[in-house]
Amino acid sequence: MAFKLKLHEVNKLFGSGSLKKSVVDKVTITFEEGRTYALKGASGSGKSTLMHIIAGLDTPTTGTVFLQNKDFSLYSSQDRARLVVLVTQVPFLIKELTVLENITLAGLVIGMSKVEAQERALFYLAAVGLFDTQAWNVGALSGGQRQRICIARALVVKPKFLCADEPTGALDEKTGSAIIQLLLDHQKNEGMGLIISSHNPSVVEQMELVFALKDGILVPHKTVLTKLGIL
């Protein structure tokens, strides 16, 4: 049975008192393994906030995220890391480790053997075009290179759902489209769910189901209802 990741009436408020601000407003949506989703919206519309909640990196103020009908926050941290992976908008790497060690670590954390984790790390390092950086200190990488390393690290894990927050934000057009193609190929081969947030129309239009965040509300593009067989 296909995995389902479901957000049920998810709200997120920031601040307190008169400064209280609702960033995500009663969002209910089900993401399915094997499908691709785009999340678009103006800067500050709440895309990153929602992506963090989807991947379990942040908790909703109210509402629940379910994976297979079980509250996702009740899964073990190892299972959460194995099942749903987020590539954050701002790349985060461990500066004390080399590029290869950073990527390999993601496999080790979810219980892969060192040999398998390293083999996969080298494979995806090559796939993002950065095989030659394997021994580098991460401080020597450019912003775009860091972003590609984070994508390689996410693919090592073989998650059921891969969420990528503006994955081409720091990349030139050619490298950006190669990365999107890599994500789509991987999505097809592994049958995972792919959720991408992006400002870039050419990225958005390559995803099957498109949603926009407006004033905290998630609005499906008109084609979504047809594609889901609702209209």
Contact letters (x/-) for ligand ATP, 168-197, by CB under 6 A? Answer: ------------------------------
CA-to-CA separations, 136 to 10, 141, 202, in angstroms, rounded? 41, 8, 32
Residue 45 contacts ligand ATP per CB under 6 A: yes
- Say how many Å lie between the first and final Cα of the chain, rounded: 24
Residue 49 contacts ligand ATP per CB under 6 A: yes
Give 121 or 150: the residue with its C-beta nearer to ligand ATP.
150
CB of residue 196 vs ligand ATP: minimum separation in angstroms? 13
DSSP 134: T
Give 3 or 37: the residue with its C-beta nearer to Mg ion.
37
Of 45, 88, 89, 206, which one interacts with Mg ion (CB under 5 A)? 89
- Beta-bridged to residue 173, according to DSSP, are none
Residue 41 contacts ligand ATP per CB under 6 A: yes
CA–CA dist 32, 53 (Å, integer): 16
Please compute Rg for the chain using Cα positions: 17
Query: Could you tell me if residue 15 is left (phi over 0), alpha (psi between -120 and 50 degrees) or otherwise beta?
Result: left
Residue 89 contacts ligand ATP per CB under 6 A: yes
Residue 45 contacts Mg ion per CB under 5 A: no
C-alpha of 222 from chain center: 23
CA-to-CA separations, 223 to 184, 201, 209, 228, in angstroms, rounded? 20, 15, 8, 9
Give 23 or 117: the residue with its C-beta nearer to Mg ion.
23
Of 45, 48, 133, 168, which one interacts with Mg ion (CB under 5 A)? 48
Phi and psi torsions of 67, nearest 5°: -120, 120
Task: Give the interface with ligand ATP as residue ranges (CB under 6 A).
Answer: 14-15, 23, 41, 43-49, 89
Task: Give the interface with Mg ion as residue ranges (CB under 5 A).
Answer: 47-48, 89
